[in-house]
């Protein structure tokens, strides 16, 4: 499945050139020319990278970046902007961007930077669409748990990514450090791992997995967590 990239850029000529180049190199592309539309897509669609202009009609690029870093902290973002001063670059990178490109830029350099960011970004398997449960299933694309009795509940972006990673590595004990690195996208050295346990606890609750005797997300003493076979 091709990697999907969302391009949020209000200049039609620049947006068309970027979209055409990405599609030529085998990427699936979504596009938005307005900040409000870009914000909605950025927070809802399943994609692997966002190319984000800073000056937009409606929601501004930094507003979108701030919302993304709160809701989808591991999603890579490359800023595309005419603002090239050092203070602008530093502000964008401190705001959570993974890279920063100043217009005008060459398409060749853009593709190289896209490839570099995707290589070092957390693993986000996109080919897994659902996870079976003893009494239902999880639709990972919709981030929805569906039980056989008709009840449904919604997963957060982080909960869905955590379950996706466990499912892609089913029957293997995944350490908290690996989860921090691959799902949270942060260096585990010195990081607080309690947040992993809290997310697992909430995920178990939503999956109706008894925390005293879990059957879906197992705790492997001294190692971490593992998705049970058949889940």
Residues 98 and 140 in one domain: no
- Domain stop point among 120, 155, 188: 120
* Cα maximum dimension of the chain: 58
Taking the alpha carbons of 202, 208, 210, 213 in that order, is the dihedral positive or negative? Answer: negative
Apex 144 CA angle, 45 and 207, nearest 5: 140
For the chain, give the percent of residues with pLDDT over 90: 55
- Domain stop point among 120, 140, 159: 120
* Interatomic CA distance for residues 99 and 171, integer angstroms: 36
* Cis ω before 104 (30° cut-off from 0): yes
**Domain housing 166:** 130-227
pLDDT at 17 over 90: yes
Residues 15 and 110 in one domain: yes
pLDDT at residue 73, as a whole number: 75
Residues 49 and 116 in one domain: yes
Q: What is the CATH number of the domain that holds 185?
A: 1.10.10.10
Q: Write the pLDDT tens digit of every residue in 40-87.
A: 999 888 788 999 999 999 999 999 999 988 777 778 999 998 876 767
Residues 98 and 139 in one domain: no
Residues 108 and 183 in one domain: no
Residues 145 and 177 in one domain: yes
- The span from the first CA to the last CA of the chain, in angstroms, equals 24
Q: Write the pLDDT tens digit of every residue in 190-229.
A: 666 788 999 999 999 999 999 999 999 999 988 899 999 6
Residue 125 belongs to a domain: no
Residues 181 and 188 sit within 8 Å (Cβ to Cβ): yes
Residues 103 and 139 in one domain: no
Q: What is the CATH number of the domain that holds 48?
A: 3.40.50.2300
* Interatomic CA distance for residues 126 and 97, integer angstroms: 22
Backbone angles phi, psi at 205, to 5 degrees: -60, -45
């Amino acid at each position: 499945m091709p990697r999907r990239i969302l391009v949020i850029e209000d200049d039609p000529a620049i947006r068309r050139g970027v979209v055409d180049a990405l599609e030529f190199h085998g990427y699936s592309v979504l596009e938005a020319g307005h900040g409000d539309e870009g914000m909605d897509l950025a927070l809802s669609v399943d994609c692997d990278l966002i190319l984000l202009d800073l000056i937009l009609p409606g929601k501004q690029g930094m507003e979108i970046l701030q919302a993304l870093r709160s809701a989808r902290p591991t999603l890579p973002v490359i800023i595309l902007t005419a603002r090239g001063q050092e203070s602008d670059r530093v502000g964008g990178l401190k705001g959570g961007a993974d890279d920063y490109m100043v217009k005008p830029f060459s398409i060749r350099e853009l593709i190289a930077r896209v490839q570099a960011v995707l290589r070092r970004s957390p693993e986000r398997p996109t080919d897994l669409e659902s996870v079976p449960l003893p009494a239902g299933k999880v639709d990972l694309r919709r981030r929805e748990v569906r039980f056989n009795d008709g009840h449904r509940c919604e997963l957060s972006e982080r909960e869905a990514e955590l379950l996706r990673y466990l499912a892609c590595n089913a029957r293997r004990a995944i350490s908290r450090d690996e989860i921090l690195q691959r799902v949270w996208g942060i260096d585990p050295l010195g990081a607080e791992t309690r947040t992993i346990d809290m997310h697992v606890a909430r995920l178990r609750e939503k999956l109706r997995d008894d925390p005293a005797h879990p059957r879906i997300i197992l705790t492997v003493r001294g190692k971490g967590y593992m998705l049970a076979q058949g889940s």
